[in-house]
A and B are shown apart, each in its own frame.
Chain A
Amino acid sequence: NAGVTQTPKFRVLKTGQSMTLLCAQDMNHEYMYWYRQDPGMGLRLIHYSVGEGTTAKGEVPDGYNVSRLKKQNFLLGLESAAPSQTSVYFCASSYPWRRAEGYTFGSGTRLTVV
């Protein structure tokens, strides 16, 4: 029972490079989310998806793109990395809200942009 798996766990990028963060869940959750966590800022929503083939912008979407081609996977892309994107990125998934079961989070990807 893996839950939510994120890869990679750590990455260092040079400014201007691109990369994709991978998130996979095995709980058949409809909804998936990408958050970033920065000191003193809490978790901020980047993008989310309410189902396969759908995506929507969150609070801080600029500089990121996402895709949800399969129900179990949610990809976060950085086309041209900037130092301001240095952060810890968390993927999460959930059932519809009325079940009130909360989110299941992955263990995070620590990204440093130099």
Chain B
Amino acid sequence: TQLLEQSPQFLSIQEGENLTVYCNSSSVFSSLQWYRQEPGEGPVLLVTVVTGGEVKKLKRLTFQFGDARKDSSLHITAAQPGDTGLYLCAGGQQIQGAQKLVFGQGTRLTINP
């Protein structure tokens, strides 16, 4: 059972365009994290959001946590070829004090020059 649904799974756009990736669930999470993964490497944390309605910006990337803490979005403004990669959202569920993460399927983003 996939608790987190990411969409789209694949996205190919031209340099300079804007895009949004969505991460949806019927479950409530204590936090929502976004990771980026390069080929042959492990995921690297981009941002953590913990409060419903929270918005965080990382240069041209804007992350938002839904008011009910069930969904999140990643918006990229003026995409660049260097943004190409696999983007993963992950919802945090607290168990025994540890934040167990549930991952979405990922969005493979390609920015064409």
Contact = CB atoms under 8 A, between A and B. Distances in A.
Contact of A107 (B30, B41, B103, B105): B41
A97 B42 contact: no
Contact of A100 (B2, B40, B42, B50): B50
Contact of B42 (A31, A42, A56, A90): A90
Contacts of A101: 45, 48
B52 interface: no
Most chain-B Cβ atoms within 10 A of its Cβ — which of A4, A35, A102?
A: A102
A105 B99 contact: no
B31 interface: yes
Range, interface on chain B = 20 to 34
Contacts, number: 74
Contact of A97 (B40, B41, B98): B98
B103 A43 contact: yes
Query: Which secondary structure characterizes the binding site on chain B?
Result: strand
A42 B106 contact: yes
A76 to B, nearest CB: 15
Given A50-B96, A108-B40, A100 B103 contact: no
A58 B100 contact: yes
Interface residues of A, number: 29
Given A40-B105, A42-B105, A96 B88 contact: no
B21 to A, nearest CB: 14
Nearest to B106: A42
Given A97-B92, A97-B94, A100-B31, A48 B43 contact: no
Contact of B31 (A56, A92, A97, A107): A97
Given A41-B105, A97-B97, 17 more contacts: A33-B100, A42-B2, A42-B6, A42-B103, A42-B105, A43-B88, A45-B100, A50-B96, A50-B97, A56-B95, A96-B97, A97-B98, A101-B45, A102-B35, A103-B101, A105-B44, A108-B41
6 contacts: A40-B9, A42-B2, A56-B95, A56-B96, A100-B31, A105-B43
